[in-house]
Every structure is written in C-alpha cells, then in structure tokens.
Amino acid sequence: MSRQAAHRDRYRRYAELAAEQVEGRDYRVTAVRRGSGIAVIAPHGGRIERGTSEVARAIAGEDLDLYLFEGCLPSLNFETLHLTSRHFDEPRALALIAGCRTVLAVHGVADTGERALLGGRDSLLACAIADRLFARGVRAQVSGHRYPGRDAANVCNRGSSGQGVQLELSDRLRGGPLETAVVEAVRRALLDRLSAGEP
C-alpha cells in the first residue's frame, strides 16, 4: 500500500490547517489571475508532492491562470499539510477557479513507473491530454485507476463548468527526462481548447 493510499489528512479543511500552521513560514500560497478562463493548480505543491509546483508553473506559462499551495516545512509536509482534493477549500483557490471554466489540477502519485493518471469530470479534455501524452511517448491512463477525481467537491471540478481534470504524475515524470514532454502535451491541449473559444 502506498503512502498516499494509507494516509489520513491531519486537517479536514483549510481553516483548521491555517489555525495551526503559519502562512509564509510553514506554507505559501500563489494565486495569479490572468483572465484566461483556464486555471492550472497545484494544491499539494512545494514539499507536499514534489515537483508539482514546477510542472503547474510550466504548464500555465505566462498566459493561463495559476494557483499553488506549497508546503515549506523542513519535513513531514505530506503528512502535515496535505488536504485531500474533495476537502481542499483554501479561499484564494476557490475564488480563482470560480472565474475559470476549465481547471487542471496537477498532483504527484507514488508510482515507480513513468505514467500519468487522468481523472476528473471533463472526460473530453482528459482524453485529449492523454492523446497528446501518448504522442510524446508518455503512458497515460484515463480509467481503471484509483484516482478517478469524479467527486463534485473535488477542487478540479469546482470551476464554473463543474468539471475539470485531475492529472496524477508518477515520481519519475516529475523532474525526470519526460517532464518536458508532459508539460508540452498538457499545455498544448489546454491552448487548443482556449483557441477553440471554449475554455
């Protein structure tokens, strides 16, 4: 059983976390609103799920909206600061994604292979991303895995359309030789949607 499968969050909501942890010391929040209608978020960034902040920043580039919640503790960031996606209710995150029709949440999964697990309620976008990942030599799975991300309360599904995509990247896809291919594939799929006028 992976650490993530066995984990139980220390806090049930952001207000509980904020009452005990100090922003700017234990964690930090970045919210960049660019009016794109598409938000790329890393709710478990920094030291919580290694490499997810960097991937989210690269996918967002200079034109898509960006949100990061980053752990900064010297140790035990995942155990202390992880808020599961259906309980992730940090107010700046919710305010940002409320103005976005499309939300892509970047996560890290404890997996020794090189694969991406796609979930969320926006199955069309998930499949489009998977197709682009496959074209760049990255294995992608859109069903039959343990992170379906279908709950309406999942932060990826809380944009204005009520449906988004949850992207779980294995350890070797974050910071490894295929990270650039992942970023390019996902960003291209998002920009295709934006250029089609249906963010």
Instruction: Give per-residue pLDDT as tens, 111-130.
Output: 888 999 999 999 999 999 99
pTM of this structure = 0.94
With a cut of 60, say whether residue 3 has pLDDT above it.
no
pLDDT for position 2: 39
Residue 173's contacts (CB-CB under 8 Å, 6 or more residues apart) are 114, 115, 116, 138, 179, 182
pLDDT for position 1: 29
**What mean pLDDT comes out for the span 142-166?**
97
Structure tokens at 67: 């949100």
With a cut of 80, say whether residue 197 has pLDDT above it.
no
**What mean pLDDT comes out for the span 97-101?**
97
Structure tokens at 165: 């995509």
What's the chain's average pLDDT?
Answer: 94
Where in the chain are the domains? Answer: 3-195
Q: From CA 61, how far away is CA 38, in angstroms rounded?
A: 12
Percentage, residues of the chain above pLDDT 90: 90
Residue 66's contacts (CB-CB under 8 Å, 6 or more residues apart) are 30, 31, 32, 34, 39, 40, 41, 56, 57, 60
Q: What fold, for 3-195? A: Aminopeptidase (3.40.630)
Q: Which residue has the higher pLDDT, 195 or 41?
A: 41
Sign of dihedral through CA atoms 197, 86, 27, 181?
negative
